[in-house]
Amino acid sequence: MNPLSIRVAIDVGCERHRVAIGLPDGKLVEEFDIDHTASGFSEFFHRIEAVERRHPWPVAVAMEGYNGWARPLDGQIRRHGHRLFSVNNLKLARYKEIFPTPAKTDAIDARRILELFRLSEHVPLAKDTLQEVAPTAVVNDKLKRLTRRRKQLVQERVRILNRLQADLHAVCPGLLSITPDAANLWFLNFLTCRDDVSRLAKLRLSSLLAIPGVGKTYAARAQRGHVLYLAICLLLP
């Protein structure tokens, strides 16, 4: 890290962030809160620019919650050309245990992160707590967001499907025997074609074939009378 640099520490919250700006000698220049809004981000960069006019040095920013609550502020910091450091929360907690403070507040946490900048050149634990975020191409950031979103959607689908299968096992387990996968579209259309699951046993072949995704093969499965009948009987008193 450049010994002559403006150090900015951010204690990230879900709605407001605590910011501390310091100089290489450890002097605290400014300390303030910003809202997690466009106006709050604008104030953040305006204050940094004011310090840069007095001290024309590069800016290094350290923040908790990189790629979490810190978004989109973390991306804006990198687009402004500032060096960005992610604070390792586990190592920060360890650092606080070794060098405790009398209280826990957002203001104190921001100052402790600022303190890590100054000690990172001398104390290995402080250096390991701050991990620089390497710049990446825009397309890589977009791909990362899309793949993470896809993973979340897949996990949500699995949870919903597990609940559906558990409910079917509880009320009419025979229905699950007509399909190897309860997530099949034809099976979901079949389940929802009537507002009462007990009415499924009375569906005629013409009604089954009118269901989207149900052809002769799936209609034959749904018409397995003895399986469906036994399943529906479980619903009756």
Give the integer Cα–Cα distance in Å for 140 and 191. Answer: 41
**Which residue intervals of the chain bear CATH 3.30.420.10?**
6-135
| Global pTM value | 0.61
d(CA 33, CA 31): 7
Q: How confident is the model at residue 95 (pLDDT cuts 50, 70, 90)?
A: low
What confidence tens digit (pLDDT) does each residue in 189-233 have? 888 887 777 777 677 778 878 888 888 777 777 766 444 544 555
Choose the most confident range, by mean pLDDT, from 2-11, 116-125, 176-185.
2-11
Average pLDDT over residues 173-188: 79
Backbone angles phi, psi at 62, to 5 degrees: -120, 135
Q: What stretches of 54-200 adopt beta strand conformation (E)? A: 59-63, 83-87, 130-132
Bridge pairing between strands 28-35 and 83-87? unpaired
Give the CATH number of domain 6-135: 3.30.420.10
Predicted local distance difference test score (pLDDT) of residue 131:
81
Q: How many other β-carbons are positioned within 10 Å of the β-carbon of residue 26? A: 12
Q: Supply the pLDDT for residue 230.
A: 47
Tell me: the pLDDT tens digits for 62-93? 987 655 677 888 889 988 989 999 887 776 66
Q: Per residue in 125-174, pLDDT tens? A: 566 778 888 777 778 878 888 998 999 999 999 999 999 888 877 777 67
pLDDT, mean of residues 113-120: 79
What is each CA distance from 79 to 70, 73, 84, 205, 224, in whole angstroms? 14, 10, 10, 62, 62
Task: Give every CB contact of residue 172 below 8 A, 6+ residues apart in sequence.
Answer: 197, 231, 232, 234, 235
